Amino acid sequence: MLALEFPPLNEILRWRDLFPTFNKVALIAVAAALIGTIIFLIAARQDGSKAPKGIRNFAEMLVEFVENQIIMPAMGKSGMGWTPFLLTLFIFIYLCNLPGIIPVIYMPATARMAIPLFLAVLVWLVYVGVGLKHQGLGYFGHMIAPPGVPAALYPLIGPIEILSNLVIRPFSLAVRLFANMLAGHILLVTFSLLTEELIIDGDNIIFRVLGVLPFAMLILMTVFEVLVGFLQAYIFTILTAVYIGSSAHPEH
C-alpha cells in the first residue's frame, strides 16, 4: 500500500520567517532587486564605446528587448522615456519568477499575492497619473464618453470603461501573474511528491515503474516554467506599456 499525502496549500507557500517580518518571499524580492542592480552596475561601469561583451552585452540585450519588443509595438517612439520603468519592471518580475525552478529555493516570489498586487497598484497609479497629466480631467471624461462611440451607447460603454480602467486592469494584472506562477508551483510540488512517493517510497515494482511518468512530467513542467516565468514578465510589462500608452494617447 502506498499513501500519497498532499500538504495543505499554506505548507508549500508559507515559510518560517528568516527573522521577524522577513521571510523567503521578501528575501527573493530583495535578491531580485540586488541581482538586477549588480548586473546593471557592472554593465554601466564597462566602456560603452567599445563593442559590448559579457554582462554589458546581456544588459544591452535586455534594454533593446524592452525597447524593440515592448515599447515600440505598444507605445511607439514616444514611449522611449518609459524604458527605465518598464525595464526595471520586466527584470524584477522575471527574477522573482525564476526561483520557482531553482533547486533548494523552488519558490517564485510572485506565487504570493503581495508582489503582483504591489506592482499592479503601482502600474495603476502610473497610468492614471499619466492620463491625468496628458488629458487632465478629460481622462475620466473619455472613460464616461469614449470618443468615437455613439452617444446612445454612453450609458452602456461608460460604466464598462470606468470599471475596466480603474478596477479590472490592475486586478487582472495582479491575478494573472500570481495565479500563473502559483499554478506552476503547485504542479511542480504535485509531480515532485508523486515521484518521491512512487519511486523512492514505493514498495511495489509497478509503482516504481509508474513513477517514471510524474518524474518525466516534473522535468517537462520545470522546462515549461522557464518559459512561463519569462512569458508572464513579458505580458505584465507589455500590458503596462499598453495601458500607459493608451493613457498618454487616447486617440490610439
Partner 1 sequence: MLTAVVKQGASGIEVSLTRRVDAIAPAPRADEEEGDHSEGDEAHHAEVDCEFPFDTTEDAAASEYPCEEGPSPILPEAKELLWGGGAFLAFLVLMRFFLYPKLRKGMDARYAKVQDGFEQADAARAAARAEVTEYEAALATVRAEAAERVDAARATLAGEREARLAEVHAEISSKRDAAMAEARAAREAAESDVRSAVTDVTSKVLEMAIGRAPTEQVEAAVADVMNSEVRS
Nearer to partner 1, 85 or 234 (CB): 85
Pick the piece of the chain touching partner 1 (CB under 8 A) from 3-11, 156-164, 219-227, 233-241.
3-11
Residue 19, helix vs strand vs coil: strand
133 lines the binding site for partner 1 (CB under 8 A): no
Partners of 119 in the β-ladder:
none
Close Cβ partners of 89 (under 8 Å, ≥ 6 residues apart): 119, 123, 236, 237, 240
Pick the piece of the chain touching partner 1 (CB under 8 A) from 43-51, 71-79, 130-138, 217-225.
43-51
Where b means 16+ CB within 10 Å and e means fewer, 93-103 reads bbbbbbbbbee
Nearer to partner 1, 114 or 157 (CB): 114
Nearer to partner 1, 34 or 226 (CB): 34
Q: State the Cα–Cα distance between residues 54 and 47, nearest whole angstrom.
A: 12
Pick the piece of the chain touching partner 1 (CB under 8 A) from 28-36, 127-135, 143-151, 233-241.
28-36
Binding mask 162-201 for partner 1 (x = CB under 8 A): ----------------x---x-------------------
Query: What are the φ/ψ torsions at residue 109 (nearest 5 degrees)?
Result: -65, -25
Q: In whole angstroms, how close is the CB of 166 to partner 1 at the nearest point?
A: 20
Q: State the Cα–Cα distance between residues 68 and 12, nearest whole angstrom.
A: 38
Beta carbons of 244 and 196 less than 8 angstroms apart = no
Q: At what angle do helices 55-65 and 83-97 cross, to 10 degrees?
A: 110
Q: How many CB atoms lie within 10 A of CB 34?
A: 12
Nearer to partner 1, 183 or 223 (CB): 183
Nearer to partner 1, 81 or 147 (CB): 81
Q: Which of 70, 74, 87, 101 binds partner 1 (CB under 8 A)?
A: 87
Q: Which of 72, 105, 122, 157 binds partner 1 (CB under 8 A)?
A: 122
Q: How many CB atoms lie within 10 A of CB 90?
A: 24
- Whole-angstrom CA distances from 239 to 75, 85, 124, 126, 234 are 11, 13, 11, 13, 8
21 lines the binding site for partner 1 (CB under 8 A): yes
Q: What is the DSSP letter of 152?
A: G
Q: Which of 58, 63, 132, 217 binds partner 1 (CB under 8 A)?
A: 63
Nearer to partner 1, 83 or 135 (CB): 83
Residues making contact with partner 1 (CB under 8 A): 1-11, 13-17, 21-23, 25-26, 29-30, 32-34, 36-37, 40-41, 43-44, 46-52, 56, 59-60, 63, 83-85, 87-88, 91-92, 96, 109, 112-115, 117-119, 122, 178, 182, 204, 206-207
